Amino acid sequence: MKKLNKRIVLRWLNNITTTILFILMIGMLFLVVSSKVSGGEPQAFGYQLKTVLSGSMEPGIKTGSIIAVKPGGDMSRFKENDVITFMEEDNKLITHRVTEVVQSGENVMYRTKGDNNNAEDMDPVLSENVVAVYTGFTIPYIGYLVNFAQTQNGAFMLLIPGILLIAYAGFTIWQAIRQIELTNKNSEHDGKEKSAAQ
């Protein structure tokens, strides 16, 4: 009975480990391919994944996280407390919270602030410089991997889970063969004992 329970637990562990490695490999493949195709941040289903490289929005958005933002639409629609992603003058993307909406003639501008910053950002943001709105979806620390995926060594990320999956599959096959050989050996041994007894 104990052997049967142990075998069931091992089978479950094998299945779980294989599934995790497979999902990891597919995830890395998606990140790398999506980054290369879009020429920048990965995209899926109309959402963009952005890497957060500063702690200005902590604790809600941690440094090294990836966040999902939704580009497009009327960029003058935002109101106080919305979290927007906008382009600064030096082509740097920032994700901060709207603290005030300023109407200036036909232009709409936003005063913004990082949740973790002591003061508002120096310059108001023109609505045409807003590129997306934060959806509230964030995964901590994965941004470091996404950043690495965009380097020349990024393809190496795909190899690691792939190698682990192949190595694990090889180990599982070796275990299964060993188990079969052990079972055959026990069967032969039992057969010889029965013959000797007769």
The CA distance from 7 to 195, in Å, is 31
45 shares a domain with 4: no
Query: Are 109 and 64 in contact, with CB atoms under 8 Å apart?
Result: no
List helix spans (H) across the chain.
2-38, 142-149, 154-197
**Last residue within a domain, chosen from 149, 173, 190:** 149
Task: Look at residue 153 in the predicted model and tell me its pLDDT.
Answer: 67
- Strands 83-87 and 93-104, how do they pair? antiparallel
107 lies in the same domain as 132: yes
Q: List residues bridging with 113 in a β-sheet.
A: 97
pLDDT of residue 43: 66
Question: How much is the CA Rg of the chain, to the nearest whole Å?
Answer: 27
Give dist(CA 48, CA 65) in Å, integer: 13
User: Are residues 59 and 121 located together in one domain of the fold?
Assistant: yes
Output the pLDDT for position 192: 56
**pTM (predicted TM-score):** 0.60
Q: What is the pLDDT of residue 83?
A: 96
* pLDDT (0 to 100) of residue 84: 97
Helices 154-197, 2-38: axis angle to 10 degrees equals: 160
Q: Of 55, 68, 53, which is closest to residue 137 (Cα–Cα)?
A: 68
Domain that holds residue 187: 1-39+153-198
In 3D space, the residue among 103, 116, 33, 38 whose CA is nearest the CA of residue 71 turns out to be: 38
* 54 assigned to active site: yes
Q: Both 129 and 58 in a single domain?
A: yes
Residues 192 and 102 occupy one common structural domain: no
Calpha distance 94→66 (Å, rounded): 13
Q: Give me the catalytic one of 34, 38, 54, 65.
A: 54
Task: Render each residue's pLDDT in the chain as its tens digit; 198 residues.
Answer: 566 677 777 778 877 877 777 776 676 666 666 655 555 566 667 788 888 889 999 999 999 898 999 998 899 999 999 999 999 887 889 999 999 999 988 889 999 999 999 999 999 999 999 999 999 999 888 777 766 666 666 656 656 766 777 777 778 788 778 878 777 776 665 655 555 555
Count structural domains, the chain: 2
Neighbour order of strands in the sheet with 47-51 = 43-44, 47-51, 66-71, 130-139, 83-87, 93-104, 107-113, 125-126
The answer to whether residues 48 and 134 belong to one domain is yes
176 and 101 within one domain: no
